[in-house]
């Protein structure tokens, strides 16, 4: 039986927060430590890779949406076939907020870009796409992790070819897909590379070599904790209907496989969380009144 796949554009919301490569089970375990109560459920993503997710989810024109992206697959440059003209604005946090020390975009950079966008673009909806819990792992930031991770290579190549003819861009897309197909059982490929004395093939491979299987899972969980902390801070500054979900899941060694790839719709890659919140921010005056009332109560004056 085919279950319906979740498309967040079918719903009405003010803010859609996307966690990259976030598994349902890990989110369910820890989200209550950081986020308020809301309607929580498991949904099925239509994709097992960001590139695939973008193509399946955004089939229309969304001229009321500002997309704030830490993931290079979603960009204003037209890199890797992404069409930024579908949105009112695409903000490339991956381009300006990249941290060379940890080879990714820290979640606080996404918060900063979001708050600036909310102030600038009135009466718009916002998609906020964090890079975490996707590798590289912030708790293992000293690992090199190789130079061919999808995210780093897309950023570097994107800067070089953003003005090149679309056919050349298509060629880079072709090479990327070929690489992805060659690594269908990544655990085997990584072990083979390590046996030959080759450096790690990507950040997850680097983490696995240094931290082991349990350490890899812990690093993934810590990445999720870090991004949830930042979302907690963001929720204190925004209001409205907010949906928190993910583009796809992640394999962390189950069945000897790791990471994620297009078209591989196993449960751990398509089962993602969905948390619906309704946040109302008090005005400054309301907060002062509330604070004064609490003070009077504590002094037994009311």
Residue 299, CA distances (Å) to 83, 286, 293, 294 in order: 59, 20, 10, 9
Domain that holds residue 200: 8-298
Helices (H), 32-106: 50-57, 93-96
pLDDT band at 194 (very low <50, low <70, confident <90, very high): confident
Nearest to 137 by CA among 40, 211, 54: 211
Q: Is residue 2 part of a domain?
A: no
pLDDT of 199 over the 90 cut: no
Q: Is residue 252 part of a domain?
A: yes
Q: Convert the pLDDT of each residue in 236-262 to its tens digit.
A: 999 999 999 999 999 999 988 899 999
The pLDDT, as a whole number, for residue 158 is 47
Please provide the size of the chain in residues: 302
Greater confidence (270 vs 164) lies with 270
Q: Convert the pLDDT of each residue in 18-41 to its tens digit.
A: 999 999 999 999 999 999 999 999
Q: Is residue 1 part of a domain?
A: no
Output the domain CATH number for residue 167: 3.40.720
Q: Mean pLDDT across the stretch 279-296?
A: 58
Q: Is residue 49 part of a domain?
A: yes
DSSP state for residue 85 in the 8-state scheme: G
Q: Is residue 82 part of a domain?
A: yes
Q: Is residue 37 part of a domain?
A: yes
Residue 177, CA distances (Å) to 126, 171, 184, 263 in order: 30, 10, 11, 11
Number of domains in the chain: 1
As given in the structure block, the two tokens for residue 4 are 């319906």
Whether pTM exceeds 0.85: no
Q: Mean pLDDT across the stretch 204-217?
A: 91
Residue 9, CA distances (Å) to 6, 49, 67, 75, 241 in order: 9, 18, 13, 18, 13
pLDDT of 184 over the 80 cut: no
The pLDDT, as a whole number, for residue 208 is 87
Q: Is residue 3 part of a domain?
A: no
Q: Is residue 275 part of a domain?
A: yes
């Amino acid at each position: 039986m085919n279950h319906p796949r979740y498309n967040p554009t079918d719903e009405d919301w003010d803010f859609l927060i996307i966690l990259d490569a976030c598994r349902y089970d890990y989110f369910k375990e820890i989200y209550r430590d950081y986020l308020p109560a809301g309607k929580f459920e498991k949904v099925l993503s239509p994709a097992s890779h960001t590139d695939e997710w973008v193509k399946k989810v955004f089939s229309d024109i969304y001229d009321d949406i500002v997309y704030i992206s830490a993931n290079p697959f979603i960009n204003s440059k037209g890199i890797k076939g992404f069409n930024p003209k579908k949105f009112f604005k695409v903000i490339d946090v991956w381009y300006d907020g990249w941290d060379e020390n940890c080879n990714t975009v820290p979640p606080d950079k996404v918060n900063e870009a979001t708050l600036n966008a909310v102030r600038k673009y009135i009466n718009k909806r916002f998609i906020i796409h964090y890079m975490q819990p996707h590798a590289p792992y912030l708790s293992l930031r000293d690992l090199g992790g190789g130079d061919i991770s999808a995210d780093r290579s897309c950023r570097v190549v994107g800067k070089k070819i953003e003005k090149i003819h679309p056919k050349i861009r298509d060629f880079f897309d072709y090479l990327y897909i070929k690489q992805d197909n060659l690594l269908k059982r990544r655990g085997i490929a990584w072990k083979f590379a390590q046996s030959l004395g080759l450096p790690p093939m990507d950040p997850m491979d680097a983490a696995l070599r240094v931290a082991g299987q349990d350490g890899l899972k812990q690093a993934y969980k810590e990445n999720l904790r870090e991004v949830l902390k930042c979302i907690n801070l963001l929720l204190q500054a925004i209001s409205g209907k907010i949906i928190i979900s993910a583009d796809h899941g992640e394999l962390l060694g189950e069945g000897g496989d790791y990471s994620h790839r297009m078209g591989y719709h196993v449960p751990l890659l398509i089962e993602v969380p969905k948390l619906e919140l309704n946040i109302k921010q008090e005005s400054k005056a309301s907060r002062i009144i509330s604070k004064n009332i609490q003070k009077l109560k504590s002094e037994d004056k009311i």
